[in-house]
Amino acid sequence: MAVLLTGGAGYIGSHTAVELISDGRSIVIADNFSNSSPGVIDRIEKITGRRPKVYDIDVCSPEALEKVFSENEIDSVVHFAGFKAVGESVAKPLMYYENNLYATINLLKTMKRHGTRRIVFSSSATVYGNPKTVPIREDADRYCTNPYGWTKYMSEQILTDAANADPELSVVLLRYFNPIGAHKSGLIGDDPSGIPNNLLPYITQVAVGRREFLGVFGNDYNTHDGTGVRDYIHVVDLAKGHLKAIDYAMNNSGVLAVNLGTGIGYSVLDIVKAFESATGLHIPYRIQQRRSGDIDACFADPAAALEKLGWKASLGIEEMCASAWNWQKNNPYGYGEKK
């Protein structure tokens, strides 16, 4: 029996692969490496001593996915694969809807044919849009501000409807807050293509000398220092949450939506300071215009994850920053190769 990880070579997928293998579980990765590097697989092997079985396929291809399910006994799926750049989704909405929604549908159809009944979905706090109150509980209103977010929202709906129609299906929707950091080995980490959109990869690229300074997007938000507040969570804690979600899905049917966050909000300037103190480096920054679509504050109420999954984040901001730097310093250009 194996766990299929779609998008298992990506940032969160690769960290989850390591945790699953280290826990003695069998995994199969399906990834088309459109936004990840084949070299990730060597790194997973180096960390764990085991090389996962890998299919270089598009999850949207019915034939290719059928082959994965017919050649392996897949008892659960963690679905990470998908396009994830907010700005690009605004420019190319149809590409996002087609890819992200069809991957979910194709996966569910193939799972049904093969009697695979458990799926953990990589969702995002982006489904809460601009929250009315923080911390955010899972039953808060949901609304998205860009097509990427809507693909997460709609995939959640597709999965929910599929579970409502099939009492044997078990769905766990994991709503990630802001994953940062890297595995302690420094062998795997976040490696965005082009100019990073997210805060931490931008900071580590400034630290390593690839960029001159950090642009801080606005200092007039309604927060303690005027810069945006988010719930940053160590990617290894996040990865461990997936193991708990798979176990939950083994023992329960129906749909469960769970926030994976720490419950603590840090501002952009808090993060700059935390990074400087964890690494001893100086990060020059300049205050710039707000980025369109950004919100004041977003952080989780993580109580449901503890109650339902028995999961709680354990790594603090210092370890998040130190591990992000350890990865970037050892791999100044990331994996250095992409398809």
Which residues bind to ligand UD1, rule: CB under 6 A?
86, 124, 126, 148-149, 178, 197-199, 202, 214-217, 228, 230, 268, 291, 293-294
Closest distance of CB 123 from ligand UD1, Å: 9
Query: Least distance from C-beta 149 to ligand UD1, angstroms?
Result: 6
Q: Which residue is nearest to ligand UD1 (CB)?
A: 228
Helix H or strand E segment including 220: none
**Residue 339 to residue 130: CA distance in whole angstroms:** 35
Of 49, 29, 19, nearest to 234 by C-alpha is 19
CB of 248 closer than 8 Å to CB of 309:
yes
What is the CA angle 37-41-47, rounded to 5?
125
Q: 117 vs 240, which CB is nearer to ligand UD1?
A: 240
> Are 228 and 297 contacting, i.e. CB atoms less than 8 angstroms apart?
yes
Q: How far is the CB of 105 from ligand UD1 (least distance, A)?
A: 21
In which element (H, E) is residue 33 found?
A: none
Query: CB of 315: closest distance to ligand UD1 in angstroms?
Result: 17
Identified catalytic residue from 11, 148, 153, 202: 148
Q: Which residue carries 């080995």 as its tokens?
A: 185
Residue number with CB closer to ligand UD1 (28 or 268): 268
Active site residue 148: yes
Q: Strands 74-79, 2-6: parallel, antiparallel or unpaired by DSSP?
A: parallel
Smaller CB separation from ligand UD1, 78 or 214: 214
Q: Are residues 103 and 82 in contact, defined by beta-carbon separation less than 8 angstroms?
A: yes
Nearer to ligand UD1, 45 or 88 (CB): 88
Enzyme catalytic residues: 148
